[in-house]
Structure 1
Amino acid sequence: LARAISDAAWSRFRSMLEYKAAWYGREVIAVDRFFPSSRLCSACGALAESMPLSVRIWTCACGATHDRDANAAKNLLAAGLAVSVCGAGVRPQRRTPGGQSATKQKTSQREP
Structure 2
Amino acid sequence: KLSKRYDCVVMEDLNMKGMSQALNFGKSVADNAWGMFTTFLRYKLEEQGKRLIKIDKWFPSSKTCSCCGQVKAELSLSERTFQCECGFTADRDHNASINIKREGLRLLA
Q: TM-score, normalised by structure 2?
A: 0.68
RCO comparison, higher one (Cα < 8 Å, 6+): 2
- Structure 2 partner of 1:36: 60
Q: Secondary structure at the match of 2:90?
A: strand
Distance 1:24 1:48 in 2: 39
Q: Give the unaligned 5+ runs of structure 1.
A: 86-112
- Cα displacement string for residues 39-86 of structure 1 (whole angstroms, at most 9, x for unaligned residues): 10001100012111110113211111121000000000000000111x
Decide whether the 8 Å contact of 2:82 with 2:95 is kept in 1: no
- Structure 2 partner of 1:56: 80
Q: Which amino acid aligns with 2:37?
A: F
Whether 1:73 and 2:90 are equivalent positions in the alignment is no
Instruction: Flag the structure with larger Rg.
Output: 1
Whether 1:13 and 2:37 are equivalent positions in the alignment is yes
Higher strand share: 2
Distance 1:58 1:28 in 2: 27
Q: Give the superposition deviation at 1:34.
A: 1.4
Q: How many residues align?
A: 83
Runs ≥4 residues deviating over 4 A: none
Measured on the aligned residues, the alpha-carbon RMSD in Å equals 2.2
- Cα displacement string for residues 9-30 of structure 1 (whole angstroms, at most 9, x for unaligned residues): 3332221111011122210001
Q: Secondary structure at the match of 1:30?
A: strand
Q: Give the unaligned 5+ runs of structure 2.
A: 1-16, 19-26
